A and B are shown apart, each in its own frame.
Chain A
């Protein structure tokens, strides 16, 4: 493992003999590093154990369907025919829709809380945002059925259909329940995560950075855009990835409003189905080895989708941040 710059500077300051005793200058550091390393390993082991377990549970389905499982749109428990394509589509589209709605709003909220709001307002408002996170997902689901879906059906979707109906996204029958409802409810649920972590990230940016920019004559927006945001970029990406993770795996609330239909449709009004929802809906009742294995395989696929999206996100950040990354 290559030593970090702080380690090197410390080590180089020590007499040569101590360097030979090992990288750590004192036993306290050694224990600390071992302990931290142990727990980090624990995180990795937990994930590996989960992956192995999911893989093991999916074996019958993997053997029977092979790679065709990913592209097949059949989901027929009576005939033991299973395929994951509609669910993959539903998960990806609903999660990205949620991100598209939640990220701008969350960043706006975080910026408001750290930069724009009067000081007396900040704590109470932050508290209110965290209140959103405190609501259990089953409550969101029930609210979705009785408040959100009828609201969308009666007030939002007709308007969208009239003004944007030329796009394939806003066509077709409107029931309130569907991809749009699912995306919105996911957005509401991941908003507090992204907003709270982003707020902490913004708070950690030293005031000197902001003040320097303002002293040079920048407007507040410019100081944020050119100085604060680049500094906070990695933290913000971390916040967004946490939000994305939550969106991909959210079960209860989504399944109550998304319509639960195994169909791929471009329209946001159409009912859809996510991977997490189908597992939650059918796992408790499923009997039959192939059925259970197929559900487990969907869990495994979700795992890989998350992995893939994370790699893509990391590559993007690395590409953009590499030249300017000071640490």
Chain B
């Protein structure tokens, strides 16, 4: 038994987890502790949470941010999966260039990006909140691109694509029935990254004068900081639940063909 524990006990892993825990969980627990204080009465209570739930806008903004994030995920997959598949299959010399371009959103300040959008976009685009998912897509591009790129690099893409086509699958079926299921792990990572980034995006949204969940929380914080923290704590649960559901809903199949 002692031998078993010893062989499974990996010191570097434990240290990494401890450090991660320090930076992730300690602030979260502190925030939670702060949010359940009741300064008026002293001690602890659920006052802030009850206040937050009673706020009508809470649900409104949660739903609004969720569907905007959902649309962003769809746009991302719809654009990136076929594009990256094509880039990998064509063996194009432009691949390095496209790799580099996909990193640009990391170095362009969001302010410049927002101002540029405000100046250049036509009125009918600026008048709809649907401009946000397209801009979120650009912000998520460096992460989504890399997550899918890794997945496509790890599989014999050319051969399985050709096998699917010669077995009678057109391009759409090849992508939906073969490529996406085979790189399922990467697709899930892309969904998670894009969803989380869209859900929490603040700067761009504020600069373009839209209200979403994060901007509303900031607004609330100006009047009721404990209530804002309570709202944030509750909002953590939503993406967590959604991602868990997605992971459970897509049935676990074989590993990604790695041997």
- On whether the two chains bind one another, the answer is no
